Structure 1
Amino acid sequence: MKFTLGWLKDYLETDASVEEIVDALIGCGLEVESVTDMTGALAPFTVAYVLEARQHPNADRLRVCDVETAEGVVQVVCGAPNARTGMRGVFAPSGTHIPGTGIDLKKAEIRGVESNGMLCSERELLISEDHEGIIDLEGDIPVGTPAATALGLDDPVIDVAITPNRPDALGIYGIARDLAAKGIGTLKLLDVPEYEGRFASPIGVGIDVPESCPLFLGRYFRGVKNGPSPAWLQQRLRAIGLRPISTLVDITNYITFAYARPLHVFDADKVAGNITVRSARDGEALLALDGRTYTLQPGMAVVADDREAESLGGIIGGEHSGCTEETVNVFLEAALFDPVRTALTGRLLGVQSDARYRFERGVDPLFVRDGIELATAMILELCGGEASEIVSAGEPPDTARSFTLRKDRVRTLGGLDMDLAEQKRILHALGFAVTETGDGLDCAVPSWRPDVHGEADLVEEVCRIAGLDNVPFTAMPRAHAVARPVLTTGQRRVRTARRVLAARGLNEAVTWSFLPARDAELFGGGQAELKLANPISSELTDMRPSILATLAAAVGRNMARGFDEVRLFEIGPAYAGDRPGDETVRAAGMRRGMTVARHWDGGRRPVDAFDAKADALAVLEACGAPVDNLQIVAEAPSWFHPGRSGTLRLGPKNPLAWFGEIHPRILDALDVKGPLVAFEANLGAIPEPRTKGATRAALDLSDLMPLTRDFAFVVDAAVEADKVIRAARGADKQLIADVSVFDLFEGADADAAFGAGKKSLAIAVTLQPRERTLTEEDIEAVSRRIVAQVEKATGGTLRG
């Protein structure tokens, strides 16, 4: 919503500066997006008079002008076709920066003739796109007058973002009302004339669809003269970004922005019979004023004559009955259209207009007659002619409602301790009819405020005018000494997983939950119930069955930009079907490239499945999964490499995570160069804590030094390392703190040393004494139990 300071002052008596007005608007809850003041930008440009314009001696399309400026007469070479003797234009001296072209003027010689400065076009001053000729000012404007003043651009333009609940602020008068209530001047009372009419309107009006248009008023004008509107009206419309068209059309635009009252004018001689608001017929077409033809549907409200639809109700007029400079007789429309139906029609047809923007938010139902009277006054003044009596159909809806504002409610709900008299003053200034009662203030809501529906809204009105910055900070009382947790277990797990993966060196990615059908099928998706009914693009047609699908694509995009070492993670939803339980929250990570070595030999090595396994275990442990009880099996979904992947599970029916190397077949289909290692954990599958709101167990550290013993076992090649680890850990659960594999010897050399089908697996066992320092006998006893447990569980033997 744009308006100029001068236009605002037509309705607000104030001496406030632009800065004070902007601060007041923001304080009222009206967000100021920008303030444009051309005075500063056009300061170097002044009015000049062309004493003589003669042909350039060396160029057919150039003229040499002697130009009278405030600093004297200068010679300017000009290529504009309209340069002539006796004209007044806008002059820029040498050294001036031209905003429309970005150049800095310098004294120059053009085709052998010296040129000092230039005469400017509108495009060069960023006024419009007109570059056909230089600016030709009308009237006897004194030489040296600032260009901004001469062009009517010395009036600052304020652009305000209006929220959908404030349709009254889509008119400058409504904004002036808020500022007056804020104390920035006095609101001028609106003087609405009443014209009785000289004759009966030859065009009648009717309503067939009262649910779409409850009220329709019209007035016939005869003998008008339509043409370009006065300069002051054109300047105001141009300042707010509107293109002047003709006096009649400009008047309707003026009333729309001044009072939030959309109007429309028909060339009465092009209207056949009477005008009726009806529902569009199936397949009916309308050539609109924007030059497009719209195919209408039943249910859309149209304003039609006895022959065809002439306009789309509340949205846009039709080309056939539009006013031109030849228009002599006019029919003026002022109607009330339903917000919901107007919005729906506009969306279906893709039409946006200033009228639709206001009607779909709700215009003042009691200002329809005032709007037609204000427009009548302007038409008679600027176009002449005679006005008929007003013809009408329907009745305005009853919007009368009243609410009581209790005396202490502004303090208890809004936090402001304010006198009742000041509350009454604010509400009265905003247009509420206020009556003081024993309970407080009885407030009748004005017709232009459809957003006020109760006492809380009255509190909001008082607080926003008083200033939300004046509301003191007050701590809410605690119901309990210790605050109860507000996050669910699932929400805490998401936060925890995000911190853990970031700490492990992975970068968080946020990808679409949609993906192409071919990618979905690679990761176990593609079912009909996972396809989108209305995808935003042909490449985003299916819900993703796995986060790894979109992460792999993200890795590919990074590699295409030269990043060979990629470490990404994402936490988000994956979908197995269209039922509520089919959506799961997962944490997934993916690595590619090199990483540091695991052992003392140092150096860098390629990432492998064990890096992904470590990431998965870290996430599961941080989120509360019983990692010591997890089973690790060499099974994983089909998008993992079958020999380099695994599953972490709590029993056969509860897999918690998958890890491993992505299958080369998948990488080829995605056009991603591998190898990629990844994991995906289902955070929702982790068992809930036994106690609601349970925290971690207390940290239990021993003050005695731990010690480590190494064991190497010869076992069958098929024996899993996890089986050896579990057996060793079970030898003494109190004393053994950790068991890890640090060496594997297998292959042909192992076959030669231990026999065919054998391997050597070395483990490190950490013993953590708690009560006393261990003796050699204690250590030997534990070692014997470890050896016995491993031999019993695996059938292996201690390597000699």
Structure 2
Amino acid sequence: MKFSLSWLKQHLETDASLEQITAALNTIGLEVEGVEDRGAALAPFRIAHVVEAVQHPNADRLRACTVDVGDGTLRSVVCGAPNARTGMKAVLGLPGAYVPGTGITLKVGEIRGVKSEGMMCSSRELGLGDDHEGIIDLPEDAPVGQPYATWAGLDDPVVEIAITPNRGDALAIRGIARDLAAAGLGTLKPFAPEKVEGVYPAPLRWAVEDREACPWVLGRAVRGVKNGPSPKWLQDRLVSIGLRPINALVDITNFFTYDLGRPLHVFDARKVKGNTLFLRRARAGESYLALNGKEIAVTPEDLVIADSEAVESLAGIMGGEHSGSDENTSEVFIECALFDPVRIALSGRRHDLRSDARARFERGIDPALLPAALDAATAMVIALCGGEPSTVTEGGAEPAWQRQAGLRFERIAGLGGAEIAPDAAVGILERLGFGVVARDAEAVTVSVPSWRNDIAGAGALAQAPELPAGKARAAAEGCAAVEPECDLLEEVLRIHGLDRIPPVSLPVASPVPLPALTAKQGRAVLARRVLAARGMLDCVSFGFLDGKVAARFGETPAALRLDNPISADLDQMRPTPVASLLLAAARNAARGWPDVALAELGAAYRDITPEGQLAVAAGIRIGNTPRHWAAPARAVDAMDAKGDTLAVLAALGVPMAALSVTIDAPDACPMGFYHPGRSGVVRQGPKTVLATFGEIHPRLREELGLPGAAVGFEVFLDAIPEPKRRKKGAPDLPAFQPLKRDFAFLVDASVPAENLLRAARGAERSLITEVALFDRYAGDKLPEGKVSLAIEVTLQPRERSLTDAEIEAVGEKVVAAVAKATGATLRG
């Protein structure tokens, strides 16, 4: 929203400077986006009289001029303009002046041997236009020595402010003046146009067919008008805010759009077919040529103004060229209407039409201003174009906009954070146009002015009649129950000055800030990093699959089937992320890249409950392991998947000694896509399943087109227990050297190595700190059905060094414990 300082002062009686006004606008919530002050840039340029202009003695195209700027001193100026002549009035820049059109700063110089003490400027050099044919030639009555900007009316700064969507009243210069007056920067001038009496019946009448879209419309004709260019003062006002003058009738409507925030439209009454203007919904196939030169195909959702034959205007947004005024217009019909903001906004977006009228109607305009605005516009039309007015024709009726709102004084400090006396708060509301209905020591009830449709809006109108006399309707807590109270509080605070509200820091809940991630989020991030460090590519895939493919990986209940899938082959929520990764691997294999390692942290869906959506860290390895100098490439196997699984669990803080691995993967969960003899389940205790891993079933691998070996794993992140928060103690740093002893046991091949390790670990818990398997041998030198498992046992003495006898005693306990638990015997 732009306005000039002089235009603002047509509504505001004030002596405030531009700096004071812009500062006040910022503090009351009308943020200043820029100020254009051409007068300040042109201040060094003065009106000068060319006393004499003669041919330059050393240049054919230059003139040596003697110039008077009214200070009693004649100056020598060399000028190259063809129109420089004796006796003319021109605009002179003295040494030190900055020329905005050229970017140079003037200084005293010498041109071809003749001294030059200034520069007479063209319009382009002053940044006022494109004319560069000659210097500015001023009228003979131009006062010598006066600043050119002052004489030409260019010392009128233009201010641009940002308008929030709720402040439709601030899209009027009068509305801005009202806010400034309420803030103490002057007095708002009265606006009371004289009523214009009609001298003949209106030639057109209104027929409102959609009262919801247009509740009220007024119109008046003026005959005998002579349309032409608008007067200079009106053109200057429009040009200053970036509008292009068109003709007097159109310029008048643009003037009131900005002056009062009241859009108007003028029809050439003789171009309207019939004697009725219809406000109706557009019909299928209708269109009209808009004032922007484009053909607009209106829809049945749009409100239009039409005559008996065709659409003449898209109501509240843009008129049509057919009935627009031109130099031949002799009778004009002025439309002044009230439209539904939502419908205006939707139509404007639908057709991508932007106009000053739309910007105001979609925010809501003053519903009570229509008669006064129509009288003011009619008076200006008669004053500038002549003619005589008709009577006013009306459609619909003024809507019931009257409403009340209440404010409890204690909320100003309690919620607003500012200490404002009740009398001061009520005074602010009164200066903004609110009328006091009732007041006591605790609260005030006010009537809301018609131009503030953002106060006590639709959600609060039902509450307003219930406000008891003398105080606002109380709310138990906050402003949620009494919506208008927040609106009034905002008005009091912003006019008081938002910069005067003392800043208050939020209370610090803890000297130590809370972690940025929850434990669950932290586990997911850490798991992703571990898998990436193990050479797996992180994937992000859809959470849904083809229903037939999903059925190969688990149950597919109908409740998890999509009603509106993005594709016909993506209609079922996936049972496991492994399915998505295997499909991705199959696509890679089909394109000549069979060896991949992929991982994803995603969801597995079992049912529609929150508990049925599992957070899973899943991964697959396909084909061969990467080539390495230390070991040749080989086909991946279940142990690779097991290694990935245990690496993730270890990184997440799971106590590895408490884990067990069983071979019931197909039975432990509803997925049957693992090889039944080459897969396993990682458990913590007998019931808690933390992960599954293993080779992918050969039949499934063949169906997916995977050429080589394929293994996968799933770590169920939600099943991992939260680590117990313990205070950090002193580090365990024993003073004695640890001892390592190796044992090789002959054991049945069907016995899991895990059982043997667990038995050895529990043989002497006070000394044994670690047991690790380092060799497994099965061959023709061993009895059939037997394997050799070699383990390393670490002993850590704490009080003293162990004697040989004590070490032998621990070894005997290890052998005995393993033999008891697994039936193994010590190899010789």
Q: TM > 0.5 between the two?
A: yes
* Matching residue of 1:74: 78
- 2:184 aligned partner, one-letter code: G
CA distance in 2 between counterparts of 1:583 and 1:36 reads 63
* Matching residue of 1:357: 359
- 1:23 aligned partner, one-letter code: A
SS of the counterpart of 2:391? coil
Deviation at 1:337, TM superposition (A): 0.6
SS of the counterpart of 1:397? coil
Question: Identity of paired residues, percent?
Answer: 42
Structure 2 CA distance for partners of 1:108 and 1:710, relative to 1, 3 Å: farther
Structure 2 CA distance for partners of 1:433 and 1:45, relative to 1, 3 Å: same
Deviation at 1:583, TM superposition (A): 11
1:461 aligns with 2:491: yes
- 1:30 aligned partner, one-letter code: L
CA distance in 2 between counterparts of 1:40 and 1:546 reads 71
Q: Greater CA radius of gyration, 1 or 2?
A: 2
- 1:90-105 correspondence to structure 2 within 5 Å: none
* Matching residue of 1:566: none
* Matching residue of 1:255: 256
Deviation at 1:385, TM superposition (A): 2.4
Structure 2 CA distance for partners of 1:698 and 1:278, relative to 1, 3 Å: same
Deviation at 1:214, TM superposition (A): 0.2
Structure 2 CA distance for partners of 1:407 and 1:206, relative to 1, 3 Å: same
Compare 232-241 and 731-740 and name the one that shifted more: 731-740
For the 8 Å contact 2:201–2:391, the answer to whether it is kept is yes
For the 8 Å contact 1:735–1:767, the answer to whether it is kept is yes
Compare 368-377 and 133-142 and name the one that shifted more: 133-142
SS of the counterpart of 1:414? coil
For the 8 Å contact 1:201–1:388, the answer to whether it is kept is yes
- 1:311-322 correspondence to structure 2 within 5 Å: 311-322=313-324
For the 8 Å contact 2:364–2:453, the answer to whether it is kept is yes
Residue from 481, 487, 494 that aligns with 2:521: 494
Deviations 1:124-148 (A, max 9, x none): 7666xx6475698686355776565
* Matching residue of 2:343: 341
Deviation at 1:12, TM superposition (A): 1.8
* Matching residue of 1:384: 386
CA distance in 2 between counterparts of 1:505 and 1:49 reads 82
CA distance in 1 between counterparts of 2:539 and 2:146 reads 59
CA distance in 2 between counterparts of 1:611 and 1:46 reads 88
* Matching residue of 1:156: 157
1:698 aligns with 2:698: no
CA distance in 2 between counterparts of 1:687 and 1:250 reads 74
Deviation at 1:18, TM superposition (A): 2.9
CA distance in 2 between counterparts of 1:103 and 1:745 reads 90
- 1:431-450 correspondence to structure 2 within 5 Å: 431-438=433-440, 440-450=443-453
Structure 2 CA distance for partners of 1:704 and 1:397, relative to 1, 3 Å: same
Residue from 647, 652, 656 that aligns with 1:620: 652
CA distance in 1 between counterparts of 2:34 and 2:426 reads 32
| Long gaps (5+) in structure 1 | 536-541, 552-568, 591-600, 602-607, 638-644, 661-677
Compare 347-356 and 625-634 and name the one that shifted more: 625-634
* Matching residue of 1:13: 13
Structure 2 CA distance for partners of 1:467 and 1:616, relative to 1, 3 Å: farther
CA distance in 1 between counterparts of 2:54 and 2:787 reads 106
Structure 2 CA distance for partners of 1:302 and 1:48, relative to 1, 3 Å: farther
SS of the counterpart of 1:399? coil
* Matching residue of 2:406: 404
For the 8 Å contact 1:342–1:359, the answer to whether it is kept is yes
Deviation at 1:304, TM superposition (A): 0.9
Deviations 1:643-698 (A, max 9, x none): xx9998879999878999xxxxxxxxxxxxxxxxx999775x24575xxxx96133
SS of the counterpart of 1:355? helix
Deviation at 1:394, TM superposition (A): 0.8
Deviation at 1:277, TM superposition (A): 0.6
Deviation at 1:365, TM superposition (A): 0.8
Deviation at 1:360, TM superposition (A): 1.4
- 1:450 aligned partner, one-letter code: N
Deviation at 1:86, TM superposition (A): 9.8
Deviations 1:22-78 (A, max 9, x none): 332222222233333334545566667899999xx99xxxx9575977654322268
1:2 aligns with 2:33: no
CA distance in 1 between counterparts of 2:120 and 2:749 reads 92
1:275 aligns with 2:277: yes
CA distance in 1 between counterparts of 2:514 and 2:767 reads 37
Deviation at 1:308, TM superposition (A): 0.9
Deviation at 1:199, TM superposition (A): 2.0
Deviation at 1:120, TM superposition (A): 4.9
CA distance in 2 between counterparts of 1:649 and 1:47 reads 95
Deviation at 1:312, TM superposition (A): 0.8
SS of the counterpart of 1:33? strand
Structure 2 CA distance for partners of 1:441 and 1:73, relative to 1, 3 Å: same
CA distance in 2 between counterparts of 1:472 and 1:768 reads 66
Structure 2 CA distance for partners of 1:735 and 1:145, relative to 1, 3 Å: farther
Deviations 1:298-342 (A, max 9, x none): 131001111111111111111222223333322111111101111
CA distance in 1 between counterparts of 2:199 and 2:765 reads 106
Deviation at 1:287, TM superposition (A): 1.9
Compare 388-397 and 33-42 and name the one that shifted more: 33-42
Deviations 1:484-534 (A, max 9, x none): x9999984533686699899999xxxx99999999xx9999xx9959887x
For the 8 Å contact 1:214–1:336, the answer to whether it is kept is yes
CA distance in 1 between counterparts of 2:499 and 2:618 reads 45
How well do the aligned residues superpose, as a CA RMSD in angstroms? 6.3
SS of the counterpart of 1:302? strand
Compare 645-654 and 67-76 and name the one that shifted more: 645-654
Structure 2 CA distance for partners of 1:687 and 1:418, relative to 1, 3 Å: same
* Matching residue of 1:239: 240
Deviation at 1:455, TM superposition (A): 2.1
Structure 2 CA distance for partners of 1:437 and 1:49, relative to 1, 3 Å: same
- 1:177 aligned partner, one-letter code: R
Deviation at 1:95, TM superposition (A): 9.3
* Matching residue of 2:205: 204
For the 8 Å contact 1:544–1:575, the answer to whether it is kept is yes
- 1:341 aligned partner, one-letter code: R
For the 8 Å contact 1:711–1:798, the answer to whether it is kept is no
Q: What is the number of residues matched between the two proteins? A: 709
Deviations 1:424-443 (A, max 9, x none): 10110111001443353221
Deviation at 1:248, TM superposition (A): 2.1
- 1:389 aligned partner, one-letter code: T
TM-score (norm 1): 0.68
